Amino acid sequence: MTKSYRQGKISGSMAIAVSILVSIIATSSLLMMNHGKALGQETALGSIFKLARASVPIDIPLAKAYENGNEIFFIATDASDEKIAQQATKLLGFKVNFSPLLSQTPEAALSQAYAFTNGVPGKGPFGFQVPVLSAKPGDAGYSPLLKVNTVTWKDGSSPKELKSVQEIMGAEKNGSLTVNKTGIVVNHPAIKWQGGQMKIRDDKNITDDSKYGPAQVLNINTDKMVVTMVAHRGFGPDGKTIYYIVADATPEMPAAMMGVTSVPFDEKLVGTPVAVDLFQFKNGINGTGPMGFQAGIGAANPTDKNYSPMWKISFNEWKDPSKARILGTIDDIVAMKKSGIITITPAMGGKHVVNCPFFDQSTIFEHMSNMSKT
């Protein structure tokens, strides 16, 4: 701030005219701007856009299933059926999103889940044995998006715990049980499985300046049935704050850079309503986004009807980075593109899809992790 003073006497009295120039940074409770001088060099106003609490650790409940006779642990984040989403929320004590769009997932992009409606009591979604899944990460048929099939033992049969799809099919063939296709699709990203798990981050001290990679998981505890992941802050289409985790992606290169599971099946969602637009910034204002610029903007909030956890990534790029400004809504992006100020390019030739379940702030802060307890 600079001050200049002009003083003089008029008609025997002292008159002081003061001219004050004040630089004001337009902001909201969501952003922090840096201005002034650093090491003798002027920092251009508006060149830095750091969100407070840009990255936070969050505890997410683990659920267990069987896959080919082995235990597999996953998180439940989204369901295409509202009642199932509510039931899972109550069972896990963690908000599971209702995402109607998931019901439009192509059959070729799905794995299968088998949930038991009777038989052996247990911790499954209906109070009986845990589900059986058809594939794990690394298998050719693996997807985090699962079509739910219900399994019901027939009267007069002798229920027992089943641990593979083959056992279920065998019991169905001999008349012991029935399998019903529900059409419900759930998002259950695998966290730990036979012979593998999601990559664990070495640096567990998460701050606003933490790097986006090289992993998204801080801790996996199958005794306490919880996984601690990094939640990243961004914007919904209307500028509302959202947080998201990153569970898997395609192609393999960006998946490896983020330290998440590579899922080729995710590419099958391109061109379908299930892959919703998520815009990330490739240049412009430095900030807390995944590429070191301002935070990204998704085309749906987690409570919107067009919400899906599966996002098709596009890159926003300023034609003249010196003219970059903060964008907070989808309307901002549309206006800048229409004016020819930015370009929008589908990432990886339009084939970059990430599994990023969105959460509102209340969910994040209710389950924020205290890493000293893990």
Alpha helices in the chain (DSSP H): 82-92, 165-173, 252-258, 330-338, 361-366
Which residues make beta-bridge pairs with 59? 228
The answer to whether 183 touches 103, Cβ cutoff 8 Å, is yes
Q: Tokens 């739910």, residue?
A: 148
For 132-173, write each residue's pLDDT tens digit. Answer: 999 999 999 999 999 999 999 999 999 999 999 999 999 999
**14: phi then psi, degrees, rounded to nearest 5:** -90, 125
Cα angle 302-136-307, degrees, rounded to a multiple of 5: 10
* Ramachandran region, residue 252 (left: φ > 0; alpha: ψ -120 to 50; beta: rest): alpha
pLDDT of 302 over the 80 cut: yes
**Which pLDDT band, with edges at 50, 70 and 90, does 17 fall under?**
very low
> pLDDT value at position 18?
30
Task: Lowest mean pLDDT of 25-29, 257-261, 264-268, name the range.
Answer: 25-29
Lowest mean pLDDT, pick from 34-38, 223-227, 305-309: 34-38
Answer whether 319's CB lies under 8 Å from 287's CB: no
Q: What is the pLDDT of residues 184-221, one digit of tens each?
A: 999 999 999 999 999 999 999 999 999 999 999 999 99
Q: Residue 259 is encoded by which pair of tokens?
A: 């330290």
Q: What is the pLDDT of residue 260?
A: 98
Query: In Å, how far are 27, 161, 231, 369 from 241, measured between CA atoms?
Result: 14, 44, 12, 19
Pairing of strands 297-298, 276-281: antiparallel
Tell me: the pLDDT tens digits for 45-81? 447 999 999 999 999 999 999 999 999 999 999 999 9
**108, 105, 89, 107: which is closest to 97 by C-alpha?**
89
Whether residue 11 has pLDDT greater than 70: no
Domain ranges of the chain: 61-192, 197-371
The mean predicted confidence, pLDDT, of the chain is 89
**Average pLDDT in the 115-123 region?**
98
Rounded-to-10 torsion of CA 164, 167, 172, 175: -150
pLDDT at 371: 62
Q: Is 221 exposed, middle or buried (CB count within 10 Å of its CB: 0-12, 13-18, 19+)?
A: middle
